[in-house]
Structure 1
Amino acid sequence: MEKSYLKTRHKIFVLLVVSLFAASCKKDPQIKPGPNNTDPANYATLGLYEQMNNTGARRIFIACSKLGDIATKNYGLVFDTGSTGMTIDATDIIPGSMITSNGFQFSGDSTVVSGITITSQKAVISYGGIDGAISEYGNLAYAKVTIGDGHGNITTPRIPFFLYYKVINLSTGAQLAAHSADVFGVGPGVSATSRSIGSPLSYFSLNSDITSGFRLAKFNSTNFLSSVTYTSDLLYIGLTTKDLNSSGFIMHPLGYNPFTGYSPNIPSSITYNGKTISGTILFDTGTPLTHIIEDPSATDNSAPLPTNSTVSITTGQGFTYQYTTTSDFNLTQVENPSYSKDNRTVFSIDFFLTNEYLLDYANHRIGLKNN
């Protein structure tokens, strides 16, 4: 039976922009297999793509250049620390004759198309909240996935993901364009869609001196342009001893949820306008524009902080961060969770412009570092 799940975050740009990346002729793969020595390299280092649309929303994309045996059109999937699992549209990947508005057409429990196994397990992923919502309709699938492109790429083992056949705007009932909601969710735990689905980056087989996880260098604010812009050396797959122990990250142990597994939400104190509240923070590359502070005592349902407001946080493990709102960066909205239906404060992609982020899948920890 088809089930509907509300995804674990509600601050999502309703239409995720699809971007196509032409494969580069440059052959400079940044793949660095870790040698078995006292100072190993990360398993792989990849660049990501940055873009800003005409509303000022910033996005970070990872190229997907092959799915199963199919060379894709280098689809740009939103690189998302706020969700878990990959979702991708089936259009132009499997034969169009198999895709209908009611689902994939095949018989039996599963079928294999060009190295992609599509199961009969159906689900609906719902994104959105107070500002609108969308739903993706699809099935659990399995395949090897090549991430990256001509600048450098790496192929995962056969992994589970969500292959969808349509995405609907719930406010209007309109079907959105193909590949408009492709997401590469790298958060901890498992997807609410299926406990079979985890982060694509968690499935690599690594040497004993490399720990399962990834770290992000700070994003390049000057590369958020109207056209997608490649930025090298942003994503480091596989964590070294130096990453974990001597690079300045403050580690935060993750809580466990019996349904979705380990949670990326970090207990913190949050101060704004001279007022300090307790809460949890999600550091979310998938939120493209505005930080959201959830304050149960807020008198307005939702209100923006004025320009030049100062916000600071201190996590339970002692990581501190402060920013000032401007007209272009660190836009911040204060909401009452009784209105938003979400208790988590969400820090948007702007946080990653001045800070580094690390996720240790093996030991269930998030590392944060000022830079």
Structure 2
Amino acid sequence: MFQRYTLVRLRFAALLLVIAAAYSCKKDNTKPQNTNTTVNPVVMGLYEYAIDTNKRVFIPITKIGTNTTAYYGIFDTGSTGMTIDAHDLIPASMITSTGIQFTGDSTVVNGITITSQTSTISYGNSLSLTKEYGNLAYASVTIGNSDGSFTVKRLPFFLYYKIVSGTGTVYPAHSNDVFGVGPGVSYTSSKIASPLSYFDTGSNLTSGFKLATLSMAQFNSNGNYVSSLLTVGLTSSDLTSAGFIMHPLSPINPGGYSPNIPSTITYGSKSVSSNVLFDTGTPALTIIEDKTAVRTIGQLPANTVVKVTTNKGFVYQYTTTSTENLTEVQNPNNTNDFRTIFSLSFFIENEYLTDYKNHQIGLKNN
């Protein structure tokens, strides 16, 4: 990956162990900027990482406040807002098992404004729930690296001090740094939106991003850097003539706009209707929620054909194997989550676009 990789690899491995079983993130995003200048989209690379059947895509975060950093957030279309561990960003003496310690409504440490507004973020569903505890914070943040980057001068984000599994295990620092790029705002705080939505679009671009198809060959345990996967800032041609099928999003409260798309899913000989989330933050297992299914039907056998057809006519079909396109069927009364969630495997064969300004998601077969 690069010379700093030894420490980063441990973080990657710990992260996958922490949330490999979590089906998706329970939060959402929005909020662009505009000026009177003409700007160009920023094209950035991402890291593709895999261990066993679990895959992750990471985005480099190279500065937070006055700290030059080498953090790698999970690039997550299924949640909204950046969450990052407080350890190594602020003095260790400020961090305890019960919170970040300071007096007053806020404090500024290493260029990071930490507010007294505390909250908890939950990831997963009733079968596997992980929680982060922390505070609303603000800082100047640089996203990307020398291959392509931009800086948000005052980015709101969630600064967490502790992450705990449903069984009470406290995970290591930076085990779950998430870079949520979904539409709307975070359930944690309406002040937190996707970091990409703060990109200055000038007078000629639309706030949003497009994600090229991921390269299956680049996923490995070394964490390969793949250039030109992410484009921040959308042109008019991206929205009208690039071949994306657009899906208008529905407003929700709280959360702003939901990334879930009404669809029909067919698996084997059965069809069900469901709202679908296409989620880069789900590492391995697509979850089909079928309220007519046996409560714990479990994983589909290899060679099962699965097809999704959205309400706007986008169609994607795949066949399960023993190692790829892993898919499970659950009854939502078991998970308490009624969304069908397509995992990272979807993004290996399809392009993806989010238009923050016009509240729509674009899907395109590769």
Q: Deviations over 1:281-308 (max 9, x none)?
A: 0000000001111111112423111111
Determine what percentage of the aligned residue pairs are the same residue: 56
Contact kept in structure 2, 1:14 and 1:128, CA below 8 Å: no
- Give the deviation of 1:147 after TM superposition: 1.2
**1:144 maps to what in 2?**
140
- Give the deviation of 1:14 after TM superposition: 6.2
Question: Which residue of the other structure, out of 313, 317, 320, is the alignment partner of 2:308?
Answer: 313
RMSD: 1.7
**1:4 maps to what in 2?**
none
Contact kept in structure 2, 1:251 and 1:365, CA below 8 Å: yes
**2:154 maps to what in 1?**
158
Question: Which residue of the other structure, out of 206, 209, 212, is the alignment partner of 1:214?
Answer: 209
Between Structure 1 and Structure 2, the one with more helix by share is: 2
CA distance in 1, matches of 2:37, 2:304: 48
Q: Which amino acid aligns with 1:302?
A: I
Match of 2:142, SS? strand
The 5-angstrom pairing of residues 195-234 of structure 1 reads 195-234=190-229
Match of 1:157, SS? strand
**2:66 maps to what in 1?**
69
Q: Do structure 1's residue 78 and structure 2's residue 74 form an aligned pair?
A: yes
**1:5 maps to what in 2?**
none
Q: Do structure 1's residue 245 and structure 2's residue 262 form an aligned pair?
A: no
* Unaligned 5+ runs, structure 2: 1-14, 21-35
Match of 1:237, SS? strand
User: For residues 204 and 152 of structure 1, do their structure 2 counterparts lie closer, same or farther at Cα, with a shift above 3 Å needed?
Assistant: closer
Aligned residues: 337
**Structure with greater contact order relative to length (CA < 8 Å, sep ≥ 6):** 2
Match of 1:339, SS? helix
Question: Which residue of the other structure, out of 307, 316, 321, is the alignment partner of 1:326?
Answer: 321
The 5-angstrom pairing of residues 1-371 of structure 1 reads 15-16=18-19, 36=38, 41=40, 43-53=41-51, 55-72=52-69, 74-171=70-167, 173-371=168-366
Q: Which amino acid aligns with 1:312?
A: K
User: For residues 14 and 302 of structure 1, do their structure 2 counterparts lie closer, same or farther at Cα, with a shift above 3 Å needed?
Assistant: farther
- Give the deviation of 1:35 after TM superposition: 8.5
Match of 2:334, SS? helix
Q: Which amino acid aligns with 1:228?
A: G
- Give the deviation of 1:132 after TM superposition: 2.7
Q: Which amino acid aligns with 2:54?
A: A
Match of 1:156, SS? strand
- Give the deviation of 1:131 after TM superposition: 3.8
Contact kept in structure 2, 1:14 and 1:134, CA below 8 Å: no
> What TM-score results when the alignment is normalised by the length of structure 2?
0.89
User: For residues 237 and 131 of structure 1, do their structure 2 counterparts lie closer, same or farther at Cα, with a shift above 3 Å needed?
Assistant: same
- Give the deviation of 1:154 after TM superposition: 1.8
Contact kept in structure 1, 2:262 and 2:311, CA below 8 Å: yes
Higher mean alpha-carbon deviation, 319-328 vs 358-367, is at 319-328
